[in-house]
Amino acid sequence: MIRQLFKRKFNQFINRRGRETVPISFDWRRIYVLPSKPGIFFSIIWFLMMMAGLNFNNNMSLMLVFLLFGLAQVVLHRTFFNLKNLRLEQVKAKPVFLGEPVTLNIQIGADDEKWQIRTDNELSSDVNNITQQTAQLKLLVPSHKRGWQPVERIKFYTRYPLGLFTVWVYCTPDEFILIYPKPESPCPDFPHHGGREGEKPNLKRGDEISGVRDYRQGDPIRDIAWKKSAQGNQIWVKEFNQSQGKNLLFDYSQLSHGSTEFKVSRMTAWVLAAEQQQNEYQILLPEFDSGMAAGEAHKHHCLTALAEYQSGDKP
């Protein structure tokens, strides 16, 4: 209970700066310093040495002890200065599908040389040196929700030069990463609703019924083979012939069943499949029309729209 409270207060304290716009420069006020594990072991050995030296008034032992104490002081400051005035210049990430980890491309910079700047979390870690003004770090973060996911708190730390002290900073850059919806897997068949007329409307959809199959969640109502379904308990759906090079229309409003997430996920899968089969395709969302096109840019356009749909405002 108290631990929880303490933890919350502590997190409040280290997050007190809120979300900051990049570039962020780390001055001394926000740098934390603590001995590392090897540092604690060093101090234990040092303490034993000091006790022995003092007890026997062995002056050369004491010289070594005090030299090591001075060394620890110097190293403490050097580690501190190795992180001071570090800049977080950029945080960029390529969009990923929900569930996949996001690779953050972090650009750090400094006016002087900085060594062994590390960052890590549960998924990955990376280390780099800044010798030419800037350097790149990569960090994997989990994707939590579709849409624009805020970048979570990042920790940069260094133990250079001796590893006796850990000096670190926390920052929460005011940056967002785009998370596409998770595509439904396996990819369902393309829908057969006519929707709006495209440029080549007759090619958009196969007209001949090729067969019937089981109803799957989300199938358009008008594809249901009512006659056949009425004969038994099962619901049957008509299947239509499809041909390559068709213009496909994916209309959100034609998807009848399932949650928003489910529909968005299915449309994502269609977009990916259509792009892969080199079809032209168009998606229709409430208040969004992608237009009929194909290609990477179009795909990104469609997926972004799907990602942003009802997922909160774009920052």
Partner 1 sequence: MTRIKSQLSLKQLFWITFAVLLAVLPQAYRLPMWFLPMTALVVGYRFYAQINQLKRAYNRILIMVAIVALIMIIYSQGFGLSREISVTILITMTVLKLLETYAMRDALLVVMLCYFVTMTRFLYSQDLLLVLYLFGSAFVTTHALAVLNFQRNEKWFDRKQINSTAGSLALAIPFAVLFFLVFPRLGSPIWGSPDIFGEGKTGISDSMSPGSIIELFMDDSPAFRVTFKNDKKPTNNQLYWRGPVLWNFDGRTWSREKQNSTRKTIRQYQPEQVIDYQIELESTGQNYMFGLDYIVDAPKGAFLLPDSMLYAPVKINQLRHYELQSLLLDRFYSPLSDKNETLLLNFPEQQNLKTQALIETWQQDSADPIDIVNRALNHFNQEPFFYSYTPPALEGDVIDAFLFESKRGFCEHYASTFTIMMRMAGIPARVVTGYQGGVDNGDYLLVKQSDAHAWSEVYIQEEDSGYWLRVDPTSMVAPERVEMGSRQIMDQKRNIIDYEWLINFKESMDKYRYQWNQWVRDFNVSKQEALFRAIGIDHRDGKTLALMLAGILMMTILLSLIPIWWIKRKKYHDLQKIYLQLIHLFRKQEVLYGYRTQGIEKFVHKLITLYPNIEVQANHFLKLYLNARYSVNPSHNQQTLAQLNNSLQKIKSLLKEQHAL
Contact footprint for partner 1 (CB under 8 A): 21-23, 25, 38, 41-42, 45-46, 48-49, 52-71, 73-75, 77-78, 81, 84-85, 111-112, 115-116, 132-134, 159-164
Query: In terms of CB distance, is 112 or 289 closer to partner 1?
Result: 112
First and final CA of the chain: distance in angstroms? 35
CB closer to partner 1 out of 161 and 188 = 161
Residue 164 CB, shortest distance to partner 1, in Å, is 8
Q: Which residues pair with 172 in a beta bridge?
A: none
Amino acid letter at 176? Answer: F
Nearest CB to partner 1, comparing residues 44 and 123: 44
Q: Which of 187, 181, 173, 186 is nearest to 143 (CA)?
A: 181
Least Å distance, CB 103 to partner 1, is 20
Structure tokens that stand for 168 in this block: 């670190």
CB 40, min distance to partner 1, A: 11
Closest to 130 measured CA to CA, from 179, 95, 87: 87
In the bound state with partner 1, the residue whose beta carbon lies nearer, of 55 and 185, is 55
Of 61 and 103, which has the nearer Cβ to partner 1? Answer: 61
Closer by beta carbon to partner 1, 159 or else 299: 159
The minimum distance between CB 147 and partner 1, in angstroms, equals 26
Shortest Cβ distance from residue 60 to partner 1 (Å)? 4
- 228-238 b/e (C-beta count within 10 Å ≥ 16 → b): eeeeeeebbbb
In this structure, the strands spanning 236-240 and 247-251 are: unpaired
Q: CB of 43: closest distance to partner 1 in angstroms?
A: 10
Q: How far is the CB of 18 from partner 1 (least distance, A)?
A: 15
- Nearest CB to partner 1, comparing residues 128 and 311: 128
Structure tokens at 76: 């403490």
